[in-house]
A and B are shown apart, each in its own frame.
Chain A
Amino acid sequence: MALKMVKGSIDRMFDKNLQDLVRGIRNHKEDEAKYISQCIDEIKQELKQDNIAVKANAVCKLTYLQMLGYDISWAAFNIIEVMSASKFTFKRIGYLAASQSFHEGTDVIMLTTNQIRKDLSSPSQYDTGVALTGLSCFVTPDLARDLANDIMTLMSHTKPYIRKKAVLIMYKVFLKYPESLRPAFPRLKEKLEDPDPGGRTGMLMRTPRSPGVQSAAVNVICELARRNPKNYLSLAPLFFKLMTSSTNNWVLIKIIKLFGALTPLEPRLGKKLIEPLTNLIHSTSAMSLLYECVNTVIAVLISLSSGMPNHSASIQLCVQKLRILIEDSDQNLKYLGLLAMSKILKTHPKSVQSHKDLILQCLDDKDESIRLRALDLLYGMVSKKNLMEIVKKLMTHVDKAEGTTYRDELLTKIIDICSQSNYQYITNFEWYISILVELTRLEGTRHGHLIAAQMLDVAIRVKAIRKFAVSQMSALLDSAHLLASSTQRNGICEVLYAAAWICGEFSEHLQEPHHTLEAMLRPRVTTLPGHIQAVYVQNVVKLYASILQQKEQAGEAEGAQAVTQLMVDRLPQFVQSADLEVQERASCILQLVKHIQKLQAKDVPVAEEVSALFAGELNPVAPKAQKKVPVPEGLDLDAWINEPLSDSESEDERPRAVFHEEEQRRPKHRPSEADEEELARRREARKQEQANNPFYIKSSPSPQKRYQDTPGVEHIPVVQIDLSVPLKVPGLPMSDQYVKLEEERRHRQKLEKDKRRKKRKEKEKKGKRRHSSLPTESDEDIAPAQQVDIVTEEMPENALPSDEDDKDPNDPYRALDIDLDKPLADSEKLPIQKHRNTETSKSPEKDVPMVEKKSKKPKKKEKKHKEKERDKEKRKEKEKKAEDLDFWLSTTPPPAPAPAPVPSTDECEDAKTEAQGEEDDAEGQDQDKKSPKPKKKKHRKEKEERTKGKKKSKKQPPGSEEAAGEPVQNGAPEEEQLPPESSYSLLAENSYVKMTCDIRGSLQEDSQVTVAIVLENRSSSILKGMELSVLDSLNARMARPQGSSVHDGVPVPFQLPPGVSNEAQYVFTIQSIVMAQKLKGTLSFIAKNDEGATHEKLDFRLHFSCSSYLITTPCYSDAFAKLLESGDLSMSSVKVDGIRMSFQNLLAKICFHHHFSVVERVDSCASMYSRSIQGHHVCLLVKKGENSVSVDGKCSDSTLLSNLLEEMKATLAKC
């Protein structure tokens, strides 16, 4: 007792953590719900406390309870609180809870936008990572729109850990905010060739890199392409290159799957793929890869099936490999083998059919999944020849099968197999009917209605079989076992529905109608479900009518009266039925029969009139017939019958009132009153609407479909039924006999044919002509037993051939059906984080130019003109692109460019493959030509600049340099829009190590900059114990771990093996940012190799330029104008002469090196904006003259401005 109290007090003293909660739940097995509700109360208390640790603990427990099925949406706000904790530990708990419980309906989710944005730009990669992971689970359209730009920036983060996450999450962003797809796509594509994590060396070595980012990009593009493959066809060459160079099986599998989706659209692609895929199939040891290769080869073969006949080798290879899989002892491989086999089956059934033995063997497998797969295969393997045999095999399985699910599956498969493509493979419908009858003996099946539907279908559509069907059905009606199972819904008793209807409708074929009539009027029938009884009642009359006619014709008046009496006696049992339908029909018919009885008593012949009730034949109607009825000429379904009441009342409002009005206004003269003009206008609008409506069946003049007139029943030669077959033994497996009979029949047929052939041959011999036809037994040779004629389903006259597939308009992937090859338009930009003092509502629309209004008009004209030209170029570009793809796809190898140093990574050795490999290389070159490797060039450039050694943090944006070389004609806005990939500059280097660094400001932390230093080990020693010591100045201090003094070095958190590079980030606090400054520092390290270890040092100088304090911040032109007008900015300007670079590239340079963004550009004049980490606004007006550039700047701090302009001058001077 005392112990308990002690424990209780401890519990109160310390909050329960997750482990305690789990333990508690396990200890309260009896009253779990009660215990949990107690815990939830405690959690609610904890959430009220201010301590974030307590809150986080509570949220952590809630996450667990959520898994157990408890709704935790009430704590959404607390979750957000925990998400915004500064400590990673808590943040992670918060994001996890959010990812588990938030969804689009969570209303507080909109409060998270800024928090997430802050976390995304956090200097700690794990904060960013955890935010990305969380966001991937609960991103909403709003979040996607607001954060798209931030995430896109992260795609070029220095850490591959962040990059790969950012790339992956883009897919979710696209889904929620499809507009982002086009602006983001170029960068996504870039990531397909993402460099090595540590640095730029990987680019040159072409060794397998850390595949994370690349694999993520492949993943996203594959996912996109799967939904809308046609938009990604132009990426095929790139993927092809990846496929032949990548060694990462994950990536390969994804790419190969992607090709599987692309080939149906472009058969030429398939031709190109076959060979490398075949090589992979031969060479890979990974089953997963092998399997996907086989799958894609199959897809290729399917797409080629019409064009190229010469791929039997590939099919053979696939089938062989699949056979190996199926024969494997591993059930998984067996399953997949069967799955893939079923795909081949569709186009190349012959090659699969030779493996029938194997597949039938799989039917006996103990694994149900495998049996089901094998069943699927059987579906396509049947032919006229083997149908009976296969079904016989299946029937034995039906008998053996345990468990109703599998048995039901077998049953539906049998029916599917037999009925496929309009009973194409059935040669003997008697056999089929008897199979169906045999299936009725299945107990406990849920598919009675399926069998019934088949019986009806066959009996109606195959006229020749009716007589046989009727005899079987009457036997069914007679037997008792079906009645017994009547309790089960959808049970086997459903077949009685069909049996009763067939016997009634085709009663003229009945041999003993009276007997059947009695069977249908048995008292036990009333235990059947209502809808079946109703059919019974209705068909009893049909039967009665035909009996009556028979009797009267035979002159048996007494017999006729006896039948009537029977009806009068038995019908009342249906009149008492609880089912309305049955009751109504029965009482109706009872009265009718009583009336007939009276007439009969007066000896009036009634049979004629009674059978007239059911005269005429029912023809099957095609399921789509109703839909295809054309609208008659002159009938306008959309025209108002009556004018709507008033404009304000929409048509779907208060339908009753409209109805009422309608009746009142019915007078016929109304249409003539309609205003002709108004009508014409409406008609036009309607046409417009119809044109846009995919579901509208257009009334274009279509060739009238004429269906063959079905020959009358008399023309059908009804085959004499061999009476050796016992016709009326229901419940006995007699279909077997048909198999034998069929064989005999075929044999006979064959003999006859042979005879005929011989005769012909003799004739031919006489005529001395040679004939090479050999007696082969093919499907076509087997003539069906009955000349069955499947009555065509009726279609309305003038039926329209409209089989538009009904696409689901709500499909979320439809929105992503976007043409990606079209160059980006200026308007297509991601919404960017808005500046505080912008007026968001009007910014996007209103386009206030920064230039004086006077000059506005002419410039606009120019602009328009320019746009036109640009449009033209774009179109050209697009055409060019299409041509490129065509060129790539053409099977003749392109004229090889200068021999490539690029080694083929294809591992296949045989000569044949080598030849292919060369071709691949050539294509790779071709590919490279199109998108020159920017990184290589960049690298070189970097070196050049290093030798100049003038300024730091200077480097070319990847696009601009090439552009400078060639005549600038592409006004592609991507260059401006996408910040360049990296901006690392050399810090210091010696024989051991090379240091490059990048300085970035962060808006979140005032006056702080992050210095990312990449250390690259150039020696053959391992570098350890690296320490960075920086001499702080008054103005700039390095953030050091707590407790360490100013003179201590800060350890670098990693070691560097030879040839490896890695990045470390340090935060510096700057007091005044108006001046550039330099900090001295030293990197000390131990270099260790086989010979021993040495202490080494490397001095460096960190240069904080004023530009590095600026953060690229977008600004709208109206906000920009306001800023300029406000008058609290000081002004300064510089001018640089001798500039030959294009204005476009000039701007790109300024954007890149000095972190500006273009607000607006008009002709050779542009306004630019940036913001410092301490919140200074910097506005620039850049004008380009003939050979000079002038930069006017306005800034809230004049010193900062003049320093900035000096830096800019230096940059421009180099242009």
Chain B
Amino acid sequence: MIKAILIFNNHGKPQLSKFYQPYSEDTQQQIIRETFHLVSKRDENVCNFLEGGLLIGGSDNKLIYRHYATLYFVFCVDSSESELGILDLIQVFVETLDKCFENVCELDLIFHVDKVHNILAEMVMGGMVLETNMNEIVTQIDAQNKLEKSEAGLAGAPARAVSAVKNMNLPEIPRNINIGDISIKVPNLPSFK
């Protein structure tokens, strides 16, 4: 079982948190902080496994993470999951994000956390791995997006226009902030397929 999936940046700011066990908001924040603390002090070229923090229960659990440019992707799993399998799943996740957002960068995740959730929901459900085939995931996401667009129809047009105007007027245009793209090239990944 996967107990939690966290994405946070180099400063520990959460970009996505998904807990498959109920925790109060405070505990969730504490877990995020603790996990960030554990993960962030590790060097780049050490292993990607970490014996679990204290908060997400027990010795059975492990943190498995990957660090892409500015973002940490952390999965907290128990012993029923294969460590290398989860590493591969993170890779699939990031590649899927990259496909769905077209060259994903941290800003995509910052501004579209809902979409990231939707993508994740096609991969992991209730803490169990649902789908690992990227094409299948992307197909489902595309179909849902299409459905969403067809629902918005004409009514959606003004809203889109407004949001476009807002983006133009406001001083901060996302792409101006220079945050490195997430590199999805990962060497040393043992082939899984």
Contact = CB atoms under 8 A, between A and B. Distances in A.
Q: Which of B114, B118, B130 has the most CB of A within 10 A?
A: B130
Contacts of A223: 1, 80, 128
Contacts of B162: 14
Nearest to B111: A19
A164 B22 contact: no
B111 A22 contact: yes
Contacts of B147: 88-89, 124, 126
A69 B17 CA distance: 10
B80 A257 contact: yes
A87 B29 CA distance: 32
B148 A88 contact: yes
A136 B49 contact: no
B28 A18 contact: no
Contacts of A249: 85, 192-193
Interface string B100-139: 0000000000111110011001000111111111001000
Contacts of B140: 161
| Ranked 7 nearest A-B pairs via Cβ | A136-B126, A288-B84, A287-B190, A103-B22, A331-B47, A367-B46, A69-B29
Contact of B126 (A20, A124, A171, A336): A171
A212 B136 contact: yes
A14 B151 CA distance: 20
- Size bin of chain B's contact surface: 35 or more
Given A171-B128, A253-B82, A96 B192 contact: no
B69 interface: no
B191 A64 contact: no
A1152 B50 CA distance: 53
B191 A285 contact: yes
Contacts of A126: 143-144, 147
Interface in A839-875: none
Contacts, number: 178
A996 interface: no
Given A126-B143, A223-B80, A104 B85 contact: no
A503 B113 CA distance: 66
Interface string A1-37: 0000001001000100111101100110000000000
Interface in A311-363: 329-336
A132 B125 CA distance: 9
Nearest to A13: B162
Nearest to A124: B147
Interface string A202-227: 00000000111001100110110010
Interface in B13-47: 14, 16-18, 20, 22, 24-26, 28-29, 43, 45-47
Contacts of B85: 249-250, 253, 288
Contacts of A220: 128
B55 interface: no
A106 to B, nearest CB: 9
Interface of B: 1, 14, 16-18, 20, 22, 24-26, 28-29, 43, 45-51, 80, 82-85, 87-88, 110-114, 117-118, 121, 125-133, 136, 140, 143-144, 147-148, 151-152, 159, 162-163, 165-166, 169-170, 172, 188, 190-193
B170 to A, nearest CB: 7
Contacts of A71: 24-25
Given A164-B130, A288-B85, A370-B47, A60 B190 contact: no
Given A66-B25, A331-B47, A368-B46, 16 more contacts: A18-B113, A19-B163, A22-B110, A71-B25, A88-B147, A137-B20, A165-B130, A211-B133, A215-B129, A216-B128, A216-B130, A223-B128, A285-B191, A332-B48, A335-B49, A336-B84
A921 interface: no
A447 interface: no
A23 B107 CA distance: 11
Contact of B84 (A60, A132, A287): A287
A69 B126 contact: no
A274 to B, nearest CB: 20
Contact of A96 (B117, B128, B144, B165): B117
A93 interface: yes
Contacts of B121: 96, 130, 133
Nearest to B29: A69
A14 B164 CA distance: 12
A286 interface: yes
A329 B46 CA distance: 10
B111 A332 contact: no
Contact of A168 (B17, B110, B126): B126
